[in-house]
Structure 1
Amino acid sequence: MEGRTQYEEYPYPVVFLPPYENPPAWIPLQERIYNSDYNNELTRFLPRSILLKKPPGAQLGFNIRGGKASQLGIFISKVIPDSDAHRAGLQEGDQVLTVNNVDFQDIEHSKAVEILKTAREIYMQVRYFPYIVGFCFPDYQRQKERTVH
């Protein structure tokens, strides 16, 4: 047994966890809204509306990823800084729920691109859900993106 650490005798892998952090002190519900320890901004995950107007020949200023083939919805993978999309509040990690009353939660990627490219006025319902991009698209940076111009 010499030369072996104490963990090598276990038949299962040993996982070292980070040190435990105590949660913030309890604060009455009516006071939490004003307390920074409880400010988790859950409202940013609620659905919101985005309106974009696209003049002929103009770009929308964002890329999308996902679709029916990936069994996921359509997600905003990139927003061009200072674009109309950026100014309207669109952000990377937004899931596109609808565009002009068309459900985007179970749509082919190519159909989504076609709808976005051909519309002159785009009314989108989106919700911020950044976790899906890194989790379900682990090779996110290496995959080909489709730019919606």
Structure 2
Amino acid sequence: MDQKIPYDDYQLPVVFLPSYESPPAWIPPQERIQHPDYNNELTQFLPRTVVLKKPPGAQLGFNIRGGKASQLGIFISKVVPDSDAHRAGLQEGDQVLSVNEVDFQDIEHSRAVEILKSAREILMRVRFFPYNYQRQKERTVH
């Protein structure tokens, strides 16, 4: 049986490492295209255009978070199921690049909300960017 050494008896510095996990099996590059463990669909990360029409008084069907203060941009934080935004393909983690030709990459959150709420027809350029979305969620409260 392994006996635990009391903490005070360790030589300094003390570093506790996580248990070792074997890496996944190596797969030759020519076999990766059809392999289920590899997602080769990189087009999901390319910018795309989404068009939404909003009747007066209607909701957008999505929420945003972030802005200039986060230095990471504006992101879709929630999409209402079965809304026009959902049917148009918006998803949590999409970065809003522009709305009606207004650059959203360095815009205040309040200004972004104002533009989205006042528009009747919304032409959005978005891209799925989950890595920066997670970083942005950690930095902001919006």
- Which TM-score band applies after superposition, normalised by the shorter structure? 0.7 to 0.9
- TM-score with structure 2 setting the length: 0.84
Asked whether 1:59 is paired with 2:59, we answer yes
Q: Secondary structure at the match of 2:13?
A: coil
Asked whether 1:35 is paired with 2:35, we answer yes
In structure 1, the residue matched to 2:15 is 13
Distance in 2 of aligned mates of 1:81 and 1:98: 23
Report the Cα offset of residue 89 of structure 1.
Answer: 0.2
- Map Cα deviations across residues 97-124 of structure 1 (whole Å, 9 max, x no partner): 0111111000011110111011111111
Number of residue-to-residue matches in the alignment: 139
Distance in 2 of aligned mates of 1:11 and 1:68: 42
Q: CA distance change for structure 1 residues 49 and 24 in 2, over 3 Å: closer, same or farther?
A: farther
* Identity value in percent: 63
Distance in 2 of aligned mates of 1:38 and 1:100: 36
Root mean square deviation, CA, Å: 2.5
Report the Cα offset of residue 53 of structure 1.
Answer: 0.6
Moved over 4 A (4+): none
Task: Extract unaligned runs of 5+ from structure 1.
Answer: none
Distance in 1 of aligned mates of 2:49 and 2:21: 41
Report the Cα offset of residue 23 of structure 1.
Answer: 3.7
Report the Cα offset of residue 46 of structure 1.
Answer: 1.1
Q: CA distance change for structure 1 residues 35 and 108 in 2, over 3 Å: closer, same or farther?
A: same
Q: In the alignment, is the contact (CA less than 8 A) between 1:61 and 1:79 conserved in 2?
A: yes
Report the Cα offset of residue 32 of structure 1.
Answer: 4.1
- TM-score with structure 1 setting the length: 0.80
Q: In the alignment, is the contact (CA less than 8 A) between 1:24 and 1:37 conserved in 2?
A: no
Q: Secondary structure at the match of 2:116?
A: helix
Distance in 2 of aligned mates of 1:126 and 1:33: 27
Report the Cα offset of residue 55 of structure 1.
Answer: 1.1
